[in-house]
Amino acid sequence: MAALEIDGLDVHYGGVHALRGLSLTVGEGEVVALLGNNGAGKTTTLSAVSGLVRPSAGRITYEGRDIIGAKASAIVRLGLVHVPEGRRVFSTLSVHDNLLLGGYAVRDQAEVKRRIDRVYGLLPRLAERAGQQGGTLSGGEQQMLAIGRALVTGPRLLLLDEPSMGLAPLVVAAVMDVIREINAEGTAVLLVEQNARAALKIAHRGYVIENGACVLTGTAADLRDDARVAEAYLGGTAR
């Protein structure tokens, strides 16, 4: 069963037609990359899935359940968690308290502790900085904290919006390694990423959208080898 199915999705912002009949799927255990230029509709797609934007047409099914019209808080409780662009950590709270907030909907506090311990094992830099204010972390550390906080929520499908934005190449590689490890543990990922080369290294499949519509789809290997993708997103060089 697909973790996520989007079928014929339309989204309008006033007179702007942001998504135009968009369809895609994310299988259980898959990493799927969503590529496109700025303004193509990538962030809108994630916002529609997570309940932050109300579509005007189409269907969104998560684990066989229609979630169109569901509240964002209810969608999170189903195991579908969105890490938005820009990290958005709580700057005056400690790293540990940021992680605790990821478990706000989890009643079993022992389970919250277990998940935080897992995050510290996966991201040891956060463990080193557990008492430090989130706003004093580096950009890469803040991104790790945003992902870690989402993991405490307990996602089965993780929506990641531009996790490498503004980060140095070595830090980008570290973030992608973390996403790969999260996926290896069984969490499906829908990854919006401007760095197409990095995204296609860890994705199983991908979609390219332009002007709110899907124009190309295929395995990550096929997209890396596609001359159109290479020209538009890989600096003119396939692979």
Q: For every residue of the chain, which 3-state class applies, written as one string?
A: CEEEEEEEEEEEECCEEEEEEEEEEEECCCEEEEECCCCCCHHHHHHHHCCCCCCCEEEEEECCEECCCCCHHHHHHCCEEEECCCCCCCCCCEHHHHHHHHCCCCCCHHHHHHHHHHHHHHCHHHHHCCCCEHHHCCHHHHHHHHHHHHHHHCCCEEEEECCCCCCCHHHHHHHHHHHHHHHHCCCEEEEECCCHHHHHHHCCEEEEEECCEEEEEEEHHHHHHCHHHHHHHCCCCCC
Its pTM stands at 0.94
pLDDT at 236: 62
Q: Which homologous superfamily is 2-233 in? A: P-loop containing nucleotide triphosphate hydrolases (3.40.50.300)
pLDDT of residue 179: 95
Ranges under pLDDT 70 in the chain = 235-239
